[in-house]
Structure 1
Amino acid sequence: MKRGLQGEATGPGGRLTRLDGLRGLAACGVALLYHPQSLFAPQTNATLPGVLHWFQHSGWTLVDLFFLISGYIFAHVYLVERTPGQGFALRRETLGGFAVARVARLYPLHLVMLLVCAVLFLGAQGNTPLAFIAHLLMLQGFVGMVGLSFDGPSWSISVECACYILFALGAVGGRRTLQRVSVLAILGALLHFALQGRAGGPWVGDGLPRGLLGFFLGQMLWQARARLRHAPSMLLVCLMAIGLSLDMGHASSVPPMSLLAWPSALLLALRLKFMGSAPMRWLGDRSYAIYLVHWPVLKLGEQQLGHVSGDFTTWLVVTAVYALVVLVISDLSYRWLETPARKAIRAAWQRRLKAGQGARIAV
């Protein structure tokens, strides 16, 4: 296995453990710091120091970091350079294998959490039969306000699936096709934010543009990784700071985050050995579970606790207990649901392929 300038694996399809760690931190930012503000009374949230206040105000933009990481990792795993200067091709032999790998990774936990939320919150506003069907078909991010129903954060999973499809079709078409798809996706997203972007957020109508911008920018960063390795770390720190602090006035804050802050964070994470440490890998492995599991836990907490009043100490205690519950359930989900289901689906696909090859040989 080859290793890059920062010690991260760079061989064909090698695991980028430092980005797993970054994804784990991003999942915790959304699940444990941004969404849980609904557990507390406004005066309690007002006691938080500046950094935590940023998470409560802008933590939703960490979902754009998810999209960026996914695009980078997908290019790393699924693209192979033919020869220097000859562009890239899709590594997997068939689109079928690509689709099965994505279903095995995403759908089992999504389905279980959908059913859990359907049982626990069946009477909640927005949890309609139409919304259930949309979630079942992974279309919840494209049907009006449906993305806010049942397991709300899963809207971004459906957007990622759309990015996967565009990426696979572009990669199968060859280097130029993938480049065109990437450029059109990024420019289309930026045009959306230029014409319809609004301050604050998150807004339902921004879902797909956010996904397209982050995902395809991520895979373009991977293709330019050799040149980007030489970018000074201090420059990346400055760009990240600018992206995080830039006041866009009445415009959306998504473009500066996706174009400046999160690419810089990704490139810096690849240079930090700690991001690939055992605790960060543990967190990264469970990031998907953290992202989906926390929502029903949070909603049950809201039902039982209401809006908790108190000082910063109260906030710390309640948040710590909530985070512990989410992490424990996420760990159990990863061990007993995600991993076995993924292996079973992939094994079934391999058996089907072998059976098909055997039938062709017999003929």
Structure 2
Amino acid sequence: MTTEPVPAKSGTRLTALDGLRGIAAAGVAFLYHPLLELDPAVMAKAPAPIVWLRDWGWSFVDLFFLISGFIFAHVYLRERRLDRAGLADFAVARIARLYPLHLLTFAICVVLFLGAPENTWYAFFAHLFMMQAFVEPLGHTFNGPSWSISVELACYTLFALGAVSGERTLRWVTAAAILVPVGYLVFFASAGGPWIADCIPRGPLGFFLGQVLWRCRERIACVPAIVLVALMATGLLLEMGRFSPLLPLCLLAWPAALCLSLRIPALASRPLLWLGDRSYSIYLVHFPLLLVCIPTIESTTSGLTASAMLLAFAAVVLVLGDLAYRRLEVPSRRAIRGLWQRRRKVVAQGAVAA
């Protein structure tokens, strides 16, 4: 950890957040989801951190939302890079980033799991159009974890519409996108989790809170690291009783973790950057593989065997995630953006000729 706070500067790649995103993806894909399937007798002997990951690893998704909001503010709000003329470019960039891999993993899930009773025709079309967060049972149709992708896409849309309408409008949108979910979590959400009803509010809360952190980045950079560590520990350990645990996690633990990560050079190391680049692939690829492996995982009764199995599962996901990233994510992103730029050029030339 650096000795002096370093604010995130506009125009620079936030490599530490890429590393943090990779860690969050690994927590969900390699630990949380597989641990849920282990024999309770095996988990009873597991160390406390492993049990915590089994019980609370789902909240890494909220860290994803927070990181996305911070990065979007860093990229698009500096020097007002997003305006009405750039909305189409923004939309194409988001589609190029998210849809190709989502479509591939969805197609694989259709082939493998179409016969499952929860995979209805309306769930099929919801996934096809990236609206899967709005069909029941949420998180249990086709590629379950992809619900968060459709919520994030909705956040992108809300952010873009607010940004092109002006700074004042975006601030009002940001305030509403934070206060309404907080109000829901205070008055309507239940203890424990994860709960299906909480999934949609989590996206805007984290995404737009990330933008607030970006706006306050210079002030936050002056906060001593020990204070951020204390806030993160409080958010992780605070017992909320009848209230939702998302309140301390989303409002204390993960914001403090994000701010701390900007001061930790190790998060920008080559291995973690490699992992961060592939975080989206890992997140979408792991679940279909996990569904295939569930019978083997559930039959595991030895802690040593379970550890070896989890390592093997992680290794296979890393290989598949790397292939998906290099062979699909990057080439399709470039191809879609290239086609869009060529189309714009043709249209511009036609307008000039006319």
Counterpart position of 2:54:
56
1:302 partnered with 2:294: yes
Per-residue CA deviation, residues 152-208 of structure 1 (Å, 9 max, x unaligned), is: 000000000110011001111111111000001111001111121111111111111
Counterpart position of 1:189:
181
**What is the aligned counterpart of 1:145 among 137, 145, 164?**
137
In the TM superposition, residue 90 of structure 1 has moved relative to its aligned partner by 2.3
Equivalent residue letter for 1:346: R
Equivalent residue letter for 2:26: C
Equivalent residue letter for 1:11: S
1:123 partnered with 2:95: no
Q: Are 1:131 and 1:146, in contact at CA under 8 Å, matched by a contact in 2?
A: no
Counterpart position of 2:346:
355
In the TM superposition, residue 144 of structure 1 has moved relative to its aligned partner by 2.7
1:19 partnered with 2:17: yes
**Length, aligned pairs only:** 351
Q: Are 1:38 and 1:307, in contact at CA under 8 Å, matched by a contact in 2?
A: no
Per-residue CA deviation, residues 92-148 of structure 1 (Å, 9 max, x unaligned), is: 841000001100000000000000001011111311111010001111101231442
Distance 2:63 2:121 in 1: 32
Q: Are 1:89 and 1:175, in contact at CA under 8 Å, matched by a contact in 2?
A: no
Distance 2:18 2:188 in 1: 33
1:334 partnered with 2:332: no
Equivalent residue letter for 1:124: A
In the TM superposition, residue 314 of structure 1 has moved relative to its aligned partner by 2.0
In the TM superposition, residue 339 of structure 1 has moved relative to its aligned partner by 0.5
Counterpart position of 2:223:
231
Distance 2:208 2:318 in 1: 30
Q: Are 1:293 and 1:329, in contact at CA under 8 Å, matched by a contact in 2?
A: yes
Three-state SS of the structure 2 residue aligned to 1:319 is: helix
Give structure 1 regions of 4+ aligned residues with deviation exceeding 6 angstroms: none
1:29 partnered with 2:27: yes
- CA shift in 2, pair 1:283/1:91, >3 Å: farther
Distance 2:348 2:126 in 1: 36
In the TM superposition, residue 38 of structure 1 has moved relative to its aligned partner by 3.5
TM-score, scaled to structure 1: 0.94
Q: Are 2:10 and 2:78, in contact at CA under 8 Å, matched by a contact in 1?
A: no
Q: Are 1:240 and 1:265, in contact at CA under 8 Å, matched by a contact in 2?
A: yes
Equivalent residue letter for 1:352: R
Q: How does 1:305-320 map to 2 (within 5 A)?
A: 305-311=297-303, 313-320=304-311
In the TM superposition, residue 11 of structure 1 has moved relative to its aligned partner by 3.5
Q: How does 1:1-363 map to 2 (within 5 A)?
A: 10-12=9-11, 14-81=12-79, 90=82, 93-311=85-303, 313-363=304-354
Three-state SS of the structure 2 residue aligned to 1:124 is: coil
Equivalent residue letter for 1:357: A
Distance 2:292 2:160 in 1: 39
In the TM superposition, residue 6 of structure 1 has moved relative to its aligned partner by 5.3
Distance 2:314 2:133 in 1: 26
- CA shift in 2, pair 1:256/1:146, >3 Å: closer
Q: Are 2:7 and 2:217, in contact at CA under 8 Å, matched by a contact in 1?
A: no
Per-residue CA deviation, residues 34-80 of structure 1 (Å, 9 max, x unaligned), is: 00024321101112101111100100011000000000000011112
Aligned alpha-carbon RMSD (Å): 1.5
Per-residue CA deviation, residues 194-230 of structure 1 (Å, 9 max, x unaligned), is: 1211111111111111001100000111011111110
For structure 1, the 5+ residue unaligned runs are: 82-87
Counterpart position of 1:85:
none
Q: Are 1:64 and 1:258, in contact at CA under 8 Å, matched by a contact in 2?
A: yes
Distance 2:290 2:196 in 1: 21
In the TM superposition, residue 307 of structure 1 has moved relative to its aligned partner by 3.2
For structure 2, the 5+ residue unaligned runs are: none
Q: Are 1:20 and 1:280, in contact at CA under 8 Å, matched by a contact in 2?
A: yes
Equivalent residue letter for 1:353: R
Q: Are 1:239 and 1:264, in contact at CA under 8 Å, matched by a contact in 2?
A: yes
Q: Are 1:39 and 1:302, in contact at CA under 8 Å, matched by a contact in 2?
A: yes
Counterpart position of 1:84:
none
Three-state SS of the structure 1 residue aligned to 2:241 is: coil
Equivalent residue letter for 1:280: L
Q: Are 2:14 and 2:71, in contact at CA under 8 Å, matched by a contact in 1?
A: yes
Three-state SS of the structure 2 residue aligned to 1:80 is: helix
Distance 1:10 1:324 in 2: 35
